[in-house]
Amino acid sequence: MRTKIVAGNWKMNKTPAEGAALIAAIRKELGEGACPVEVVVCPPFTGLDAATKALAGSTIKLGAQNMSAEAPGAFTGEISVGMLQELGVGYVILGHSERRTLFGETDAMVNRKTKAALAAGLTPIVCVGETLAEREANKTDKVVTTQVRESLAGLGNDLRKVVVAYEPVWAIGTGKTASSAQAQEVHALIRRVLAALSDGQTALSIRIQYGGSMKPENAKELMSQPDIDGGLIGGAALKADSFVAIVRGGC
């Protein structure tokens, strides 16, 4: 059985103090050890140190929203994997649709970052997903298949250490959500592509999150699908009650 994983992507929200307060509220609301779902919070870089302190003694894990594939050096504005490690980061979101569409990240760049994260012992949450135009042009399968293949190429046995997040770009921050059947269909496709990259047993071990406007109202139904192993949560992760309600949807 795959352990479900719910990760809160705070995006460019929350000062360090606000983030620490949110973590305290999540811990209080969730309790400790009451739910078998793995929980991750992903603050902005500036909030990671405060988050580490706020998470002390908790089972909640810490993630970052991005990282550089480069070794330390002359890369102004970038964050290295070693910097994340020293702050206690265990997960890192890579290839989020906003990074791809707003900042021009390619599958090749995501692949390099994924390999760097794995080499350092971090768990990458690798995002894939189609735009509204691509869905309406019936290109979902082609786009998602290409992104999975190219973003996760050449990982060998490390592939089983990756978390994949399917985020239909048309459903992020729009209030629109893929139906549970639509989401399951693409998750099943991703698992077939993962099997082609490795083998069936490896593909069955890899967790695939849904990342398109998951809410307390639909979390349980979505996570009850056979190939949906959790959620990558945006707006609903910024409030303790809604985030914890989603987590409980996977219990």
Q: Describe the crossing of helices 140-151 and 107-119 by its angle, rounded to 10 degrees.
A: 40
Query: What is the Cα–Cα distance from 39 to 4, expressed in whole angstroms?
Result: 9
Query: What is the Cα–Cα distance from 5 to 82, expressed in whole angstroms?
Result: 24
Residue 134 known to be catalytic? no
Name, in order, each residue with C-beta under 8 angstroms of 169's C-beta and a sequence gap of 6 or more.
97, 101, 129, 130, 131, 132
Choosing from 38, 96, 98, 130, the catalytic residue is: 96
Residues in the chain: 251
Query: What is the Cα–Cα distance from 159 to 193, expressed in whole angstroms?
Result: 12
CB atoms under 10 Å from CB of 136, counted, come to 11
SS3 162: coil
Choosing from 38, 105, 167, 187, the catalytic residue is: 167
Residue 187 known to be catalytic? no
Contact 78, 70 (CB under 8 A): yes
Active site residue ranges: 96, 167
